[in-house]
Structure 1
């Protein structure tokens, strides 16, 4: 086949990250079928036209259906708010386009099932952008666990901490509207550590959770049609999602887990932390030190036991690093997107499955929804298991 011709829906934060990933894949990974940046799409013509010029896209559209309808598009990349994922993905699959979507995959389990059915029935490649799986330190953690080096897993504790809403005067954003985002910190942040838990340890059995919305209203622009006037002429809008969600879990393999996602951890900018304890050892990962993995092994001689800090930058030993720099030269946030794009290109070329796919997205959605159900029922809830 020729180049993989991309149509990207959405052009802001994730659009920028995905664009760079396609370019870096072509440059550093030299795929047999390189990406071709055909069309970028957004509702604001002035802004999307500027993005197309700045990012190097061949053309732009203001209607996502127009992108799907084009004969010169092979892959639809969805980087829009969560409430649009379902319609775009299903229409793309029905048109025979491969689909990459940002997380969370959908607003709810029902929509995720419809999306999975659409891509399965059409036979297209499908992928969910859980990019942290492709951090080389996480790949090493997977290898360590798979080789049995930490033994039977007893515990996983994970948190994802940010502080961008800790100021009560921070303005309203689409991520605070349940109808658009689906949920707050839960779907945005817990989705990542749920996926990493499934990837590293196993499936979820049951969960119990709690959540809180600390600031119930946020200021918006005075001309917003959705705001409401107050005495001091400041327009406010109701926050309809969680600011923080915590939950406990039992996994199918008997391990216990604790999970926390919040946007109110003052001083934490993007602190994603995972610790896994087993009968023979432990591993610790913190995304703010993403090139490092901590590993403890009981098999070390007793007088030498302790957490070792592994710098995961060896080209011959650590996944993906062959494409980058000499040992000790660090990579960053954007590189995981490149690794994702590289794997997707290979899957499309070789017509082989790629992970995490829409089934993984659905399974994550089932955990998210079970936690939501638990918060409502104030009791433990089983995670739905769907046979595919």
Structure 2
């Protein structure tokens, strides 16, 4: 048997998302017969002790303390960016110029302009690129897409989508990088809203206009950091100002005439990861909840009267997208498998020379929606997506 071509990976960052991506790279060959084989070549991080320990624990062959060195290495084919948002553009553009394929965590950048520069860079060099919106790759979400494309729901009228969390509600939780605009770009809007925006674009279509609002409930917080369990560590007695939103909500119109309602918050008590949507069409409706990610609720108007109602489909049959790669029907998969599915598509894209969706073009479109919502929240008016300009 001929050996498969290797894709040697260099990952920048190694904490929460680094752990998720590392696990996925390790498991791809176990579940998927991709045309190329991922090799965990090196991981980069500024804290030498921390990155060394992460490399040993997660299975990376080597480590670097400077991401630039990672890009310079000739034994790296793909750069995986799992760092804070303000670093994405510089790393991705440098990687593309060096001829490396690139996958980047969301949101793609801090601004539309930055994201467009990233897209221009990968297009110019022809490298394969993706953005890591992993929720697209839950089998139930992929099956929802299939039902919509097949016309089972008919014309789409509505989408309601939320991403609700509660980990930030204590006023003593520290001012981590996610709460600093210069690092994160925005608060819940860019962190959580980016995911439901991407799901809406994937399932319903492109946005045409939005009107939104946002709020910061706790204005000042003690300085500190997050740990791997999303619990804060306060450092000393210094405090700083929170300059991003704690909650955001917006209405939307889509190019196909559908209406959307979106909410993202970290102040929804009892919700750990309430990523949910409902889509209503002329022939039926679907519902999905990430905390029960294997299940898709489906209502079809053509069902016999008396038997009509939402049915729960456990999307673990071989007929469901990606499910056949894992266990027998009914043996559910979890959050980590969404990353395996996504990165398996990245491997196939590298093998075949194309950039699977969602890629940097999707990242730019998502960034345009985020920026439109921010403009609307500031002006109190509807903002059309066509007014969100890109550099020439």
Please give the secondary structure, in 1, of the residue aligned with 2:49: helix
Residue in structure 1 matching 2:166, options 163, 168, 172: 163
The CA distance in 2 between the partners of 1:367 and 1:288, in whole Å, is 25
Pair 1:324 & 2:326 matched: yes
Residues in 1 aligned to 2:86 and 2:330: alpha-carbon distance in whole angstroms? 41
Query: Contact (CA 8 Å) 2:130, 2:355: kept in 1 or not?
Result: no
> Which digits, 9 at most, give the CA deviation of each residue in 1:122-148, with x for residues without a partner?
000010000001000000100111111
CA contact (8 A) 2:316 2:324 kept: no
Residue 256 of structure 2 aligns with which residue?
A: 253
Structure 1: which 5+ residue stretches go unaligned?
Answer: 223-232
For residue 268 of structure 2, the aligned residue among 262, 265, 269 is 265
Q: How many angstroms apart in 2 are the aligned matches of 1:240 and 1:279?
A: 42
Give the corresponding residue for 2:350.
348
Alignment match, 2:277: 274
Shift of 1:171: 1.5
> What displacement does 1:303 show?
1.4
Q: Are 1:298 and 2:307 counterparts?
A: no
Alpha-carbon distance in 2 for matches of 1:352, 1:248: 34
Is contact 2:278-2:285 (8 Å) kept? yes
**Deviation per CA, 1:269-327, whole angstroms, max 9, x where unpaired?**
00101000011100000001100000000011111110000000002x01111111000
Q: Of 81, 85, 89, which aligns to 1:78?
A: 81
| Match of residue 143 from structure 1 | 146
Matched, 1:3 2:6: yes
Aligned position for 1:230: none
Alpha-carbon offset, residue 386 of structure 1: 7.2
Relative distance call for 1:238 and 1:125 in structure 2 (3 A) is same
1:33-72 aligned within 5 A: 33-72=36-75
2:386 counterpart of 1:360:
no
Cα shift readout 1:308-353 (whole Å, capped 9, x = no counterpart): 00000002x0111111100000000000000011111011011133
Of 32, 36, 54, the match for 2:35: 32
SS of residue in 2 equivalent to 1:76: strand
Q: 1:193 to 1:221 in 2, by over 3 A?
A: closer
* 1:69-99 deviation line (CA, Å, top 9, x unaligned): 0000000000000000000000000000000
Q: How many residues align?
A: 377
Q: TM-score, normalised by structure 1?
A: 0.95
For residue 235 of structure 1, report the CA deviation from its aligned partner.
Answer: 1.8
Q: Which residue of 2 aligns with 1:238?
A: 241
2:116 to 90, 113, 117: 113
**CA distance, structure 1, for counterparts of residue 127 and residue 169 of structure 2:** 42
The alignment yields a C-alpha RMSD, in angstroms, of 1.4
Correspondent of 1:193 among 193, 196, 210: 196
Q: Distance in 1 between matches of 2:389 and 2:178?
A: 28
Alpha-carbon distance in structure 2 between the residues aligned to 1:76 and 1:59: 14
* TM-score, scaled relative to structure 2: 0.94
